[in-house]
Amino acid sequence: MTRIAICGAAGRMGRVLIEATDNNANAAMGAAIVHPDDPMMGVDAGAIAGLGKEMQVKAVESLQACINDFDVLIDFTAPVVTMDNIRVCREHGKKIVIGTTGLTADQKAEMEAAAEDMGIVFAPNYSVGVNLCLNLLRMAAGVMGEDSDIEVIEMHHRHKVDAPSGTALRMGEVLAETMGWDLDEVAVYGREGQTGARPQKQIGFETIRGGDVVGDHTVMFAADGERVEVTHKAQSRMTFAKGAVRAALWVADQPNGLYDMQDVLGF
């Protein structure tokens, strides 16, 4: 039985992660961490998630306060918080599953260094379907990429703070890797004004924010005479939460290293 801690337990994703942990027979809720000023401080995790039962796990204000109560931390918070949590987990020999997006290059480099001493799963998206789509994109780019205009379109709820989404950027990375391109050189993030004709060696990103959309992603290969689209639509955060718990159970038995959801799924 793997004991799981959830950082940001009172947030939208945190509540679903508690439920997903409770639903998995191989996982146990070990700790719930919330902001010190959160009204859920000291509240049982079951009540935080609205499960109608107690889990005998009271929310605490820091990772240090529960360091002996878990094996793997799941963190879908913010870059600064996540980096602090990596340092604490590294110091105490804990493993971590990270779904936080918007990390800088320097933060990713620090995370890679930390993985020499701990197990880390870092992925922009923990949905099984999205990770299947990444493999489909490799196939489509290999077959159609040279003769198509490639666009990545994503839509999320109004509260999302980073753009493009981490998933859209990962899709762009996969496309660029397959095509042998440098994404920094070929990416275009939105268009305005007199942009001129579109060059073929380009990956466009369009970002839409509105409503309560959990997450929609479409990659379009637009060729002369035909168009192929690879689309994933998330209807519930539970798909991400189940994948994150699956990753936590998987990494609990892995040696130190930096992994992603493709590793977890055996892709």
Active-site annotation holds for 160: yes
Contact 71, 94 (CB under 8 A): yes
Which one of the listed residues 35, 95, 156, 217 is annotated catalytic?
156
AA identity, residue 133: C
Burial 5-41 (b: 16+ CB within 10 A, else e): bbbbbbbebbbbbbbbbbebeebbbbbbbbbeebebb
**Residue 257, SS3 per DSSP:** strand
Please report, as a single letter, which amino acid is at residue 105: A
Q: Is the peptide bond before 124 cis (omega within 30 degrees of 0)?
A: no
Phi-psi region of 164 (alpha: psi -120 to 50; beta: other; left: phi over 0): beta
**Is 156 considered catalytic here?**
yes
- Catalytic residues, which ones? 156, 160
